[in-house]
Chains A and B, each alone.
Chain A
Amino acid sequence: EAGVAQSPRYKIIEKRQSVAFWCNPISGHATLYWYQQILGQGPKLLIQFQNNGVVDDSQLPKDRFSAERLKGVDSTLKIQPAKLEDSAVYLCASSLEVRTGPNSPLHFGNGTRLTVT
């Protein structure tokens, strides 16, 4: 099966600019996640979708970050305006069900590395 696809792989922007990331999950996976991984840290969940509804966005900085999942498939994550501390790798992941488990493991994409200068 094809994996989780993300683009772009790399992005360099200046602070206060805007940026968008795209994710295409594994076909049939109802649950989609966006994680932020700062260098030397573990991934932190930004937002979780079940189909096209939001399950958890408690750690999403909503004053500058937004995400949508139209038609319950692809998703985009946007940052506007970007700050220096947003420099990180943004990982998209998907799973078959809301609860990850033996029958519903988490699959990650390769991520988008964002550098804000």
Chain B
Amino acid sequence: KQEVTQIPAALSVPEGENLVLNCSFTDSAIYNLQWFRQDPGKGLTSLLLIQSSQREQTSGRLNASLDKSSGRSTLYIAASQPGDSATYLCAVAGANSKLTFGKGITLSVRP
């Protein structure tokens, strides 16, 4: 059974800092890995999707990497802004395409 872990549960940083959010998973037989953002009272918004054959994906100030062999992914946020404050969830899709989510990391960027 796939398990996805995100540690720490919460993070607070000053504006402008570069930061890394970590995600680990137990079963390396994945189809893809996705990072989502969730604002309070809202649904999830897809940020980046990395196929199992890829190593990384970039979108603006965001860069996600995938190391299947070690069961790890990182989401790098450059030059953080208060508007980046949200919960970031990692999800892994297995061969059946079913997504298993981590509990998320709640990020607070202080002005």
Residues of A within 8 A of B (CB): 4, 40-45, 48, 56, 91, 93, 98-102, 105-111, 113
Contact = CB atoms under 8 A, between A and B. Distances in A.
Given A91-B43, A100-B34, A110-B42, 14 more contacts: A4-B43, A42-B89, A42-B100, A42-B101, A42-B103, A43-B99, A93-B43, A98-B97, A100-B97, A101-B32, A105-B46, A106-B44, A109-B43, A113-B41
B103 A40 contact: yes
Contact of B103 (A4, A41, A99, A106): A41
Contacts of A100: 32, 34, 49, 93, 97, 99
Q: Specify the main secondary structure of chain B where it touches its partner.
A: strand
B97 A42 contact: no
A43 B101 contact: yes
Interface of B: 4, 9, 31-32, 34, 41-46, 49, 51, 89, 91, 93, 96-104
Contacts, number: 59
Contacts of B32: 100-101
B93 to A, nearest CB: 6
A61 B26 CA distance: 26
